[in-house]
Amino acid sequence: MGTTPITAKSRPHRSVHWMRWTVFVLMMIAAGWFTWVYRQIVATATIDNAQPADAIAVFGAAEYAGRPSPVLHARLDKAVALYDENMAPVIVTLGGGSDKDSGKTEGGVGRDYLLANGVPYDRMIAETKSFDTEQQVDSLARIAAREHFHHVIVVSDGTHLFRIALLCRRAGLEVYTSPRAPLGHIDDLDAAERVMHEMLSYTALRMNLHVSSVHLWLNGRTG
């Protein structure tokens, strides 16, 4: 019996077959990865890991003409509650400002809010130069090294904390995550967008992608 020759027609067919399998496998890997990231984000967002530490760090969010936005307000209230529970003796407020802010910064506005809510001035450190989450973590790491903070409670939105925890580990910080209180009702679309933003941001971080346009877009929705 003779063998069937491999014709020019059969070779493209095999190529298409393997291409489909490759795409399928890649899709399954991506689905598994994003499912894992989603579960980690949600788990971190729903658990308050606060325990006695050397400092509380409040990650910045928008401020409006010297007043904290509702998101920043909720983060600062969480920090005040932790401070009143004697979880840590110092609160660090993080976040800079832009030319449109008339000299106001997220860290400075946070400090003023804490002062108005009974936190002594000498128990606060305001960082006012950072413009995104990674810069805030870098600034926090420098402050922790200078002030000899060994353990820090980090306060932010629940969905933000899983990415913050990774950045802090990379910066050599030992942190406990503590989510702010929810703000009223968030519709399903907004909640999905927040989680998707963090899934993409975390994935980009793990892949060490730091292309400026992508980086700024991903971080632009935080706060």
Tokens describing residue 113 = 């809010």
Tokens describing residue 83 = 């401070």
pLDDT of residue 189: 79
Helices 161-170 and 188-206, packing angle to 10 deg = 20
Identify the sign of the CA torsion 165, 107, 204, 34. positive
Average pLDDT of the segment spanning 12-38: 85
Q: What is the pTM of this model?
A: 0.82
Q: What is the set of domains in the chain, with CATH numbers?
A: 55-185 (3.40.50.620)
Q: Which residues, 6 or more positions from 98, have their beta carbon under 8 angstroms from its beta carbon?
A: 131
pLDDT of residue 20: 82
Provide the percentage of residues in the chain whose pLDDT is more than 90: 67
Q: What is the 3-state secondary structure (H, E, C) of the chain?
A: CCCCCCCCCHHHHHHHHHHHHHHHHHHHHHHHHHHHHHHHHHHHHCCCCCCCCCEEEECCCCEECCEECHHHHHHHHHHHHHHHCCCCCCEEECCCCCHHHCCCCHHHHHHHHHHHCCCCHHHEEECCCCCCHHHHHHHHHHHHHHHCCCEEEEEECHHHHHHHHHHHHHCCCEEEEEECCCCCCCCHHHHHHHHHHHHHHHHHHHCCCCCHHHHHHHHCCCC
Q: Which residue has the higher pLDDT, 185 or 213?
A: 185
Banded pLDDT at 192 (limits 50, 70, 90): confident
- Tell whether the model's pLDDT for residue 222 goes beyond 60: no
Neighbours of 24 (CB within 10 A): 10
- Tell whether the model's pLDDT for residue 143 goes beyond 60: yes
Q: Which residue has the higher pLDDT, 10 or 196?
A: 196
